[in-house]
A and B are shown apart, each in its own frame.
Chain A
Amino acid sequence: MNARAPEASRPNLPLEFQDPRESLGILGFWFFLASDVVLFSCLFAVYAVYHGRVAAGPTPFQVFDLGPVLTETLLLLTSSFTCGLAIFMMRRGSTRGLSVWLLVTLLLGMAFVGMEVHEFAGDILRFGTWHKSAFLSSFFTLVGTHGGHVSFGVLWAAALVVRLWRQGLTPGTARRVYTFSLYWHFLDIIWIFIFTAVYLSGKIT
């Protein structure tokens, strides 16, 4: 194919962009992220509309405890930073550095999920489940969907560490790591808005 010919080998590009098919996969992943932006916007819209509908249940001000939430935020922010360092090491060709920072990212992600499960369990014991009010339904759905994404990301990172260990750094592995990093930073952006529009806004009196 004529159009493919100039792209066939691109050794001067970063590893994840060298193979045209893998490179196209990265573009495809941006399209997936765009659809995820719309998914989360729907959940944010529902929360924005229903956060005042507390029925006879607790208000956002009563439910939210900013201490643990700040810890969760710092864990996820730091994991986003270490994920950036992982890509930095990958661009420098260091498989070892990449694996180590990916592992740190994974552990911080696990800590975040652990704290969130603990927070949700505490909320349910003290205030009731998502059946209680429209506020709690929309809150658990929005924050839980994000937590589900992070949990999936932790499993994905674990699979990548195993793959790196067994196959080393190939264009295919590099593309997978790069798309994971896009996913992980994207989840941090969603969390920034959850932290601001849900938790902090709930504390404005």
Chain B
Amino acid sequence: METSTPKAHEIEQGEVVEISALAPRFEEHAFPWRQIAGYAASLLLTLGALLLVERRLLPAAWLAPVILALAAVQAGLQLGLFMHLRESLGATWHVLTLALAIVVALGIVILSIWIMAFKSGVS
């Protein structure tokens, strides 16, 4: 990691520069522990969310934010454990693209709800 980093003027044109976020990264395992852990956690989170709603374990106003948070955790598990999000020939490119897509998606959903919450007679 902490080898001497070349200054910009020292790099020749066409030379391959090692940046840790762009370095190849792959993980090898002998047994699919990550997949099993991801599956078990997904089942727990799904059934947990279902129980919260079915048994009304929380005040109604709390339920929606809590189960949405559980869904977000589960999405993160799928991305990290099943989609090998951190593995690639430099994960930076697809992680940044996905992050941008999520910002746009949240913007579309949240701002749509917000703007339509004004009872101005158009909806």
Report A's interface with B, CB cutoff 8 A: 2-3, 6, 10, 13-14, 17, 23, 26-27, 30-31, 33-35, 37-38, 40-42, 44-46, 48-49, 66, 70, 73-74, 77-78, 80-81, 83-85, 87-88, 91, 181-182, 185-186, 188-189, 192-193, 195-197, 200-201, 203-205
Contact = CB atoms under 8 A, between A and B. Distances in A.
Nearest to B83: A185
B8 interface: no
Interface in B86-121: 88-89, 93-94, 97-98, 100-102, 104-106, 108-109, 112-113, 116
B50 interface: yes
A185 B82 CA distance: 7
27 contacts: A2-B14, A6-B16, A27-B93, A27-B94, A33-B98, A41-B105, A41-B109, A44-B109, A49-B113, A49-B116, A66-B54, A77-B46, A80-B42, A81-B82, A85-B35, A87-B84, A88-B29, A185-B83, A186-B83, A188-B82, A192-B46, A192-B75, A192-B78, A196-B49, A196-B67, A197-B71, A200-B49
A189 to B, nearest CB: 5
Given A34-B97, A204-B64, A88 B104 contact: no
A197 B83 CA distance: 23
Interface in B27-73: 28-29, 32, 34-36, 38-39, 42-43, 46, 49-50, 53-54, 60, 63-64, 67-68, 70-71
Nearest to B29: A88
Given A70-B50, A84-B32, A197-B71, A45 B108 contact: yes
Interface of B: 14, 16, 24, 26, 28-29, 32, 34-36, 38-39, 42-43, 46, 49-50, 53-54, 60, 63-64, 67-68, 70-71, 74-75, 78-79, 81-84, 88-89, 93-94, 97-98, 100-102, 104-106, 108-109, 112-113, 116, 123
A78 B39 contact: yes
Nearest to B94: A30
A118 B94 CA distance: 37
A interface majority secondary structure: helix
A27 to B, nearest CB: 6
Contacts of A193: 71, 75
Given A80-B42, A204-B60, 13 more contacts: A2-B14, A17-B24, A33-B101, A41-B106, A45-B113, A48-B113, A181-B82, A181-B83, A182-B83, A189-B79, A192-B74, A196-B49, A200-B67
Shortest beta-carbon contacts, A-B, top 6? A41-B105, A30-B94, A34-B101, A45-B112, A81-B39, A196-B71
